[in-house]
A and B are shown apart, each in its own frame.
Chain A
Amino acid sequence: MLFYLLAAATVGAAVNVVRSRNAIHSAIWLVVSFLSIAGLYVLLEAEFVAAVQVLVYAGGIMVLFLFVIMLVNLRDAAEMRLALRPAISAVVGVLAAGLMLYVFTRGHLGPAAGPSTLREGGNLQAVGEAMFSDYLLPFEIASLLLLVAMIGAILLARQPRN
């Protein structure tokens, strides 16, 4: 039951993100969507991912969004100029959804693999053990990627020196 509530909140908030005329409203709805998704992660027994979602998405990324919305002035952000072809966009969206739905109904999901062992000894421990043994190299690459992104963002956003 809780799942359907969270799912409805996620999808409804996402619709409002795309629909809102004011960029600030979009950002607030995006926070609602992210928090509901964090709830879905908890229901899916992924507590660590849920915590990271709240910390990084609802905390860090949204602050970044709000900062930039306030830096660029609202005269521009408030008015919404739809593309010339919103109908075509809607058709593309529905087509993408239909294609995925088609694959989804054709595929065979199989039964869930018995009682979950994802939380044995704590979800954080399970994720940590996998991350620092099998996925150590991707982990290091991710940290390098974040460093590169940080340097790139600073370079791009810096005031050009005259």
Chain B
Amino acid sequence: MPVPAAHVLVVSLLLFAIGIVGVLTRRNAIIILMSIELIMNAANLNLVAFSRQLNQINGQVFGVFTIAVAAGEVAVGLAVVLAMYRNRDSIHVDDVQLMKG
């Protein structure tokens, strides 16, 4: 039984909304990065769902690219978190409000 694309889109919508709430409510930089991952996964789910819906492989290729970009983003983001922790002794984004200070 094929999965209806509309239902997948609803799942991806919920994931996206949860990710947004996570980015906005949590102040722990690591959790914020995780929420961003949820958002990227929601977008990816959409790409794959439309790939199935339109019967074209492009969506899956872009999905793989998205995962590659997400990997790079996480690597740099976590490096920033480490640098932040080393300089400020904290990973709460509220503690890092000044560009220089």
The answer on a CB contact under 8 Å between B94 and A81 is yes
The contact string, 1 if C-beta is below 8 Å from chain A, for chain B 42-68, is: 001100110111110110110111011
Q: How many residues of B contact A (CB 8 A)?
A: 70
Q: At the interface, is chain A mostly helix, strand, loop or mixed?
A: helix
Q: How many residues of A contact B (CB 8 A)?
A: 85
- Residues of chain B within 8 A (CB-CB) of A44 are 3, 8, 48-49, 51-52
Contact of B13 among A23, A27, A92, A101 (CB under 8 A): A101
B101: Cβ under 8 A from any A Cβ: no
Q: Given A40-B45, A56-B67, A104-B13, is A46 in contact with B74 using a C-beta cutoff of 8 Å?
A: no
The contact string, 1 if C-beta is below 8 Å from chain B, for chain A 68-90, is: 11011000110011110010111
CA of A14 to CA of B68 in the docked complex: distance in angstroms? 21
The answer on a CB contact under 8 Å between A113 and B55 is yes
The answer on a CB contact under 8 Å between A46 and B51 is yes
Which of B9, B22, B69, B83 counts the most A-chain CB atoms under 10 A from its CB? B22
Q: Identify which of residues 1-58 in chain B touch chain A, using a CB-to-CB cut-off of 8 Å.
A: 2-11, 13-22, 24-28, 30-31, 33-35, 37-38, 41, 44-45, 48-49, 51-55, 57-58
Question: Top 3 A-B pairs ranked by shortest CB distance?
Answer: A149-B72, A89-B24, A93-B21
Residues of A whose CB lies within 8 Å of any CB of B are 3-4, 7, 10-11, 14-15, 17-18, 23, 26-27, 30, 33-34, 37, 40-41, 43-46, 48-49, 52-53, 56-57, 60-61, 64-65, 67-69, 71-72, 76-77, 80-83, 86, 88-90, 92-94, 96-97, 100-101, 104, 109-110, 112-114, 116-118, 123, 126-127, 129-131, 134-135, 138-139, 142, 145-146, 148-150, 152-157
